[in-house]
Each structure stands twice: as C-alpha cells, then as structure tokens.
Amino acid sequence: MTHVGYLVAGYGLTAVVLAGYVLRLRSRGRALARSLGTQGPGTDEATTAPPPADAPIR
Amino acid sequence: MTTSSRATSVLGWLTLAGLALTVWLALVVSPPDVNQKDAVRLLYVHVPTAWLAMYVSFGVTTLASILYLWRRTRSRFWDLAAGASAEVGVLFIGLTLAIGSIWGRATWGVWWTWDARLTSTAVLFVLYLGYLAVRRVPSDPEVRSRRAAIVAIAAFVDVPVVHKSVEWWRTLHQPASLFDERRLFDPQITGTMALTLVVAVVAFTLLYAWLLIHRFRLAHLQEKADDRQLADALAERRAEGGDAAGVVETLSGPVPS
C-alpha cells in the first residue's frame, strides 16, 4: 500500500467511526424522545435539561 | 433532535468548521515529513484523539467519579457525566489505536508490536471497556454507580503509565513532541505542522464537548424512560390488584363496613 493509501485508510476510518457514532446518538435520542412524548428539539425542558449537580440520588 | 439545544447546534457547526479546516491544513497545506513523507499526516488525527481520550475524557470521568463518591457532592449528574465521558473516551482511544496501527504499518512496517506505549494504551482501552461493562451490570443503581466510580478511578492509574512509557522503557514509539512538560516551551514540531496540530487539537476538543453533551443528555433521557417504564408497570400491577378485589367483592357480596 502507498502512503496515500494509508492516509485514505486512516482518515476514512476516522470519518466513518465518528459519523456512525454521531448518527447512533441522534437516532437513539429521537427514539427515546418519541417514547417519552416530547415534541421536538429542546422543547421539553423537563425532559432534555440535564439534572442539576445537587440532584438527589434516586 | 431532542438532545440538541441552540448552544449545541452552534457548537456542532463550529466543530464541523474546525474539522474541515483541520483536514484542509493536514492534507493540503502541511508539508510532508523528510523521513515519513505523507504518512506523517496521520499525526493530525492520532495525536488529538490520544490527547482527548487519555487526558480529557478519562480525566473528566475520574474527576466526576470522585465527585460522585464524595458524599457532599454526590448526585446523578456526576455519575452520568462520568459514564458519558468514558464512552467518548473509549471511542477516541479505539481510534488512536487503529490510526496508530495504520501509521505503524506505514513507518515501521508492522501493524502491531508489543511496545510499552502501544501495550499500555491497549490496556487502557480494555480497562475502560471494563468500566463501561460494569455500568451495565444489572444491580441497584446506586450500588452500580459506586462500583463504576471506583473502577474508573482505578483505571486512571494507567494514564501516567502510558504517558511515561516512552521514558520508562526502551520503545519503538517516538517520545512526545508537544505534550511533555520539558518540551512545552521547546517543541519538536514547528511552523505549519505545529499550527495544523494545534488546530486539530482544538477541533477535536470541540468535537469531544459536542459528543459529551449529547451522550450525557441521552443517558438522562434513558433514565427518564426507565423510570416511566417502572411507573407504568407498577400502575398496571395495581390495576390488576384492584380488578381482583372487585371480582372477590362480586362473588361474596358487599364487604360489610
């Protein structure tokens, strides 16, 4: 394999892995939001907002 | 996307711009190396992913785990933050190993060698995979989080070993060019190559922040979904219990008060 081949392999692998992870995060987020009945992007503050740092343990 | 907000959208676009600039600088502007030729361009992915995984991701995981274990600051927030950062870190350390393997094949002629730096990094990868596995073990949520926090802190012990491995052992891997206390003000990489590396580190750090926020919010949504599922199941059982009481009442007549 030439050096360009190694570059294509390295950069290609990085792009595929990162894009795959981003898509997985997005699809799981959408599916969970559907199951919880939220309306859309960031509309349900109670659902999408992270718990405060002093939130009690469940 | 429900894990999005206006701030994360802006961060996402900044990250994309940063990554595009990195690719352009790395593949077009930056010159080839005298010895490694074009293979040196893998540096601009390998170093930022290693830096983010080892020092940032696992550092945040360890800090959040300590804050979770400390009674005064204990909250779900820190446990979720630790888990989210570790998952992103495992992704980055996996990429570090894969890109390093490709780079090694191009420059050393081998895909893998049991070199101290490579081996200690592979051990780090396995340790944090184990941490993610511990987080999935079915158990009481509080007990599971506490166990996971202890594993995260224990796993972080390998980070200084990875960092110092090129000094402590005779290795094939080159010593640090930039992220070294002695070379911080006397870097072994200069000019366009240094600029490209700095831009790449900034772009990948933005990417880490974006991924961390989304993974954290996803974990929060997952907990809410689990809570709702449990509440629904309990309500169903209570309704079944109520129906059964109604049947008993019908068969035996009204219960005297």
The band of B64, judged by pLDDT with boundaries at 50, 70 and 90, is very high
- Residues of chain B positioned with their CB less than 8 A from the CB of A56: 75
Residue of B nearest to A49 (CA): B217
- Residues of chain B positioned with their CB less than 8 A from the CB of A57: 74-76, 142
Cα–Cα distances in angstroms (integers) from residue B66 to residues B75, B79, B145, B229, in the given order: 11, 10, 11, 30
pLDDT in tens, B116-165: 999 999 999 999 999 999 999 988 889 999 999 999 999 999 999 999 88
Q: What is the interface pTM, i.e. ipTM, of the complex?
A: 0.83
Q: What is the pLDDT of residue B148?
A: 96
Three-state DSSP class for residue B10: helix
The band of B180, judged by pLDDT with boundaries at 50, 70 and 90, is low
Share of chain A above pLDDT 90, in %: 38
Query: CB-based contact (8 Å) between A8 and chain B?
Result: no
Q: Which of A10-24, A38-52, B222-236 has the highest mean pLDDT?
A: A10-24
Q: What is the pLDDT of residue B205?
A: 96
Q: What is the pLDDT of residue B240?
A: 86
Query: CB-based contact (8 Å) between A48 and chain B?
Result: yes
Tell me the H-state helices in chain B: 6-24, 43-51, 58-69, 76-107, 116-136, 141-155, 158-168, 191-252
Closest C-alpha to A21, from B218, B123, B152, B22: B218
Question: For the whole model, what pTM was predicted?
Answer: 0.83
Per-residue H/E/C for B72-109: HHCCHHHHHHHHHHHHHHHHHHHHHHHHHHHHHHHHCC
Are A37 and B54 contacting, i.e. CB atoms less than 8 angstroms apart?
A: no
Are A54 and B76 contacting, i.e. CB atoms less than 8 angstroms apart?
A: no
Q: Which residues pair with B37 in a beta bridge?
A: B33
- Residue B191: left if φ>0, alpha if ψ -120 to 50, beta else—which one? left
